[in-house]
Amino acid sequence: MYMLVMVLDDPTRLNEILDAWTQAGVPGITIVESTGVNRVLARQSARAAYAGFGQIFGGGRVGHNTIFSVIPALEVAEKVVAATESVLGNLSEPHTGVIFVLPVTQAWGLSPHTANHQGES
């Protein structure tokens, strides 16, 4: 099993990415709002008047979405990357996102579909 993680640069593309991941065979997806250090530092150095205006009208939110799922095999990750790039373009281009995979040695509470494939790689 593996944990598939993506930091999506443009949150307005989230629904498209969720559809692409689902079509690629991801059994369940969790989404977290997140912000990178560069965006935090840029926001801190912004003019106080502009930052205040954005906060009043809700336009001051700047961030990412971090999307993750436990998947049964690396082949699923490869399908997800292809599906994601069909939506966003090449991930090595700026302002797209980053995807990575981590091994999961043990997990509890997974759906039977994912848990049945624990021994596959």
Per-domain residue ranges of the chain: 2-115
- pTM for this prediction: 0.78
How far lies 47's CA from each of 16, 18, 53, in Å?
33, 35, 10
Place of tokens 């009043």: 56
Cβ atoms < 10 Å from Cβ of 2: 19
What's the CATH class of domain 2-115?
Answer: alpha beta
Using one digit for the tens of pLDDT, what is the confidence trace for 46-101? 545 455 555 544 455 568 899 999 999 999 999 999 999 999 999 999 999 999 99
Using one digit for the tens of pLDDT, what is the confidence trace for 4-50? 999 999 999 999 999 999 999 998 999 999 887 776 666 656 545 45
Contact 98, 84 (CB under 8 A): no
Nearest to 7 by CA among 67, 82, 69, 52: 67
From CA 91, how far away is CA 80, in angstroms rounded? 12
CA dihedral 69, 75, 78, 84 (to 10 degrees): -50
pLDDT for position 36: 79
pLDDT for position 120: 44
Contact 33, 65 (CB under 8 A): yes
Strands 30-34 and 64-71: antiparallel
